[in-house]
Amino acid sequence: MRRERTVRQGHHVGNEAEEPQVPDQRQKKRHQDPGENIQEFGSTKIPTAKSSIHTMVIIGQIEGHVVLPSQNKTTKYEHVIPQLVAIEESKDIKGLLLILNTVGGDVEAGLALAEMVASLSKPSVSLVLGGGHSIGVPVSVATDYSFIAATATMTIHPIRMNGMVIGVPQTYEYLDKMQDRVVNFVTMHSHISDHDFRKLMFTTGELARDIGTILVGKDAVDVGLIDEVGGIDKALRHLEGMIAEQHRKPRRARTEKKEVQ
């Protein structure tokens, strides 16, 4: 009798117990810790944090009109340009942080990105990590202020053309004009002179079987190419200060207008 009662009681208790619920995978991802999100997926999209600064990363090789092999790490300029347009149009984004670790790439694509960044009305800061080589140089100086890591490098060299080159005067003139476009842009958006930049481009002896100059960290600042040596902390603080300054200027203008009236 006792045995039967025990079984019934156990059966009764078992009926009252709730069945274990399996958490919804979408809900689990939604409430996942931001740190775990970065660790597992390598994602910079943290839904719990809102920022007025948009971070854009230029890595690998800047891909232009020719599609590079799949094993190459590339940044496609047709993906970046719409982002820059969206940054300019967005009311929530107040500034751009541009991080570069690039070997260079397509000259026209690189100049297109540089021109887009330079024409933004919102404050922008660049940070060169690892390397900002070749056509990455004009992209890195296109922002309002630029930083470079102490161990990062920048390679400055003349424009080179891949593939078959026809040895005629027209080819040389075309390359010369393309080179002038790069030089003019860099000198307009940095503190280096035309003469000094061209001198770095045509230096011999530093690069194996080539001409050009490699600048490491502080060297890029000393020649006037980059504004300051620093990391992510300095870059963010400087950008936040620029955003705050831009917001103060319209207020001052309105105050001055009222005083005149």
Q: Which positions are catalytic?
A: 134, 157
Please report, for residues 28, 120, 151, 204, 242, the alpha-carbon distance to residue 129 in angstroms, rounded to integers and kept in the order given: 34, 22, 8, 26, 21
> CA nearest 129: which of 244, 229, 24?
229
Per-position b or e across 18-50, b if 16+ CB within 10 A of its CB: eeeeeeeeeeeeeeeeeeebeeeeeeeeeeeee
Return the structure tokens found at 65: 């009109």
CB proximity list for 36: less than 8 A, separation 6 or greater: none
Quick one: DSSP state of residue 230?
-
For residue 84, the SS3 value is: helix
CB proximity list for 213: less than 8 A, separation 6 or greater: 155, 156, 157, 200, 201, 203, 206, 207
CB proximity list for 38: less than 8 A, separation 6 or greater: 44, 46
CB proximity list for 231: less than 8 A, separation 6 or greater: 127, 147, 149
